[in-house]
C-alpha cells in the first residue's frame, strides 16, 4: 500500500509540475528576470500551493499518526546552521542558473530524457558527494 501511495503521490506531483509549466526551465528563469521579461507564473503556482499545504498542516495536527507509516517524519531542527545555509545557497544558485530543481528534473525525464540527463546525473553526483561528506564528518567528530 505504501508503494502504491508513493507512486500515486509522485505521479500527481509530476503531473502538477507539467500542467503548471513548472517543469519548463524558461518559466523559472522568467520569474527570476525581474528587470527583463518577468513571468509571474511561478508566484501564482507558489500562492496556489499555500492553501492546500495550510490545510494539510491542520489535518496532520489532528492525526495521531500518518495513514501508512508508524509516525510522522517532520524536521526537528529549528535553527539555521552553516550546512543548511550553504545548502540553500548552492540549491538557489543552481536553480537560478538552470531553472531546474530536483522535482521538475525527474518529471522532465519522462518528456525529454536526453536533454535533462546531464542535470540529473550532476544532481545524483551532488547527493553522493553530500552523503560521503556527511559520513566523513560523522566519523571525525
Q: Are 120 and 109 in contact (CB under 8 A)?
A: yes
Name the packing angle between helices 25-32 and 82-98 (round to 10°).
110
pTM, rounded to two decimals: 0.70
Domain of residue 64: give its range. Answer: 2-73+80-140
- Phi and psi for 134 in degrees, rounded to 5? -65, -40
Domain count, the chain: 1
pLDDT at residue number 63: 92
78 DSSP assignment? -
Which portions of the chain are predicted below pLDDT 70? 141
Q: What is the pLDDT of residues 62-95, one digit of tens each?
A: 999 988 888 888 888 888 998 889 989 988 898 8
Amino acid at each position: 500500500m505504501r508503494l502504491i501511495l508513493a507512486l500515486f503521490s509522485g505521479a500527481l506531483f509530476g503531473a502538477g509540475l507539467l500542467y503548471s509549466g513548472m517543469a519548463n526551465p524558461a518559466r523559472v528563469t522568467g520569474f527570476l528576470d525581474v528587470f527583463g521579461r518577468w513571468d509571474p507564473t511561478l508566484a501564482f503556482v507558489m500562492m496556489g500551493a499555500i492553501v492546500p499545504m495550510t490545510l494539510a498542516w491542520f489535518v496532520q495536527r489532528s492525526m495521531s499518526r500518518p495513514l501508512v507509516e508508524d509516525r510522522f517524519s517532520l524536521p526537528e531542527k529549528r535553527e539555521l546552521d552553516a550546512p543548511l545555509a550553504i545548502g540553500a545557497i548552492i540549491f538557489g544558485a543552481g536553480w537560478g542558473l538552470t531553472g531546474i530543481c530536483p522535482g521538475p528534473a525527474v518529471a522532465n525525464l519522462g518528456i525529454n530524457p536526453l536533454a535533462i540527463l546531464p542535470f540529473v546525473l550532476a544532481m545524483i553526483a551532488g547527493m553522493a558527494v553530500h552523503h560521503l561528506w556527511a559520513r566523513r564528518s560523522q566519523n571525525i567528530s
